[in-house]
Copies of this chain bind each other. A is one copy, B any other.
Amino acid sequence: MIARTKRKETSQARRQLIVETAAACFIEKGFHQTSIRDIARRAGISLGNLYNYFENKTALIAEIAMLEASELDVLKNKLSKITDPAKALDRFVSLYTDHCCQQENSVLSAEIVSESFRSPDIGLGFLQNRIELVTVIADLIEKNAEREGVHPEIAPRDCAEFILDLIEGLAERSAFKGIGPARKATKALKTAIQKLVSV
């Protein structure tokens, strides 16, 4: 039995190696400029063996696209431990900004977005992910408004979308220049978000 698990373990490790290698390749060259051979070679395994782990290239792309989802789950868990909605929102902005500003994440996001327009599976996963994120942020905004006894001028869900837009936009620009965002820009981002959530 222990032997049986040993096999499963090494097999699962190999699978993860493939996923990580594929992600690296996709970030460097894009989905459709990366060949299965590229991934196999870089992972140090044979061409045929890769097909023991993934049915085809599309499945591999879908798997990578879903990686973002699990990363955002971690973020959502962190937020759920903060009781003050204003603090939680502020923390989210910091964490999500850091996340998005990593160049690899920005590049991969751009790849996924453009792929989403044509591949329904990937598009739906991406959308679902988005909706969950918006819901979490909108909840924070609403709770904060209730606590302060005010009626928000912008609908919470719209406001949440806007906040994500601002963060992702800033991140994309900084990824483009190849360096992290300027201190000034990050400060401006926080100011802008503050303006959006205030009445």
Contact = CB atoms under 8 A, between A and B. Distances in A.
Interface in A150-199: 153-155, 158-159, 161-162, 164-166, 168-170, 172-173, 175-176, 184-185, 188-189, 191-192, 195-196, 198
- Report how many copies the assembly holds: 2
Contact of A116 (B33, B165, B176): B176
Contacts of A24: none
Contact of A176 (B32, B117, B170): B117
Q: How large is the interface on A (under 10, 10 to 19, 20 to 34, 35 or more residues)?
A: 35 or more
Contacts of A77: none
A68 to B, nearest CB: 15
A41 interface: no
Interface centre among A29, A161, A185, A198 (most CB of B within 10 A): A161
A66 interface: no
Nearest to A114: B110
B107 A110 contact: no
Max chain B Cβ within 10 angstroms of own Cβ: one of A127, A162, A184, A189: A162
A125 interface: no
Contacts of A188: 154-155, 158-159, 162
Interface in A1-35: 29-30, 32-33
Given A107-B117, A114-B30, A114-B111, A185 B169 contact: no
A32 B29 contact: no
A169 B176 contact: no
B192 A154 contact: yes
A140 to B, nearest CB: 17
Given A111-B114, A195-B195, A162 B158 contact: no
Contacts of A176: 116-117, 123, 127
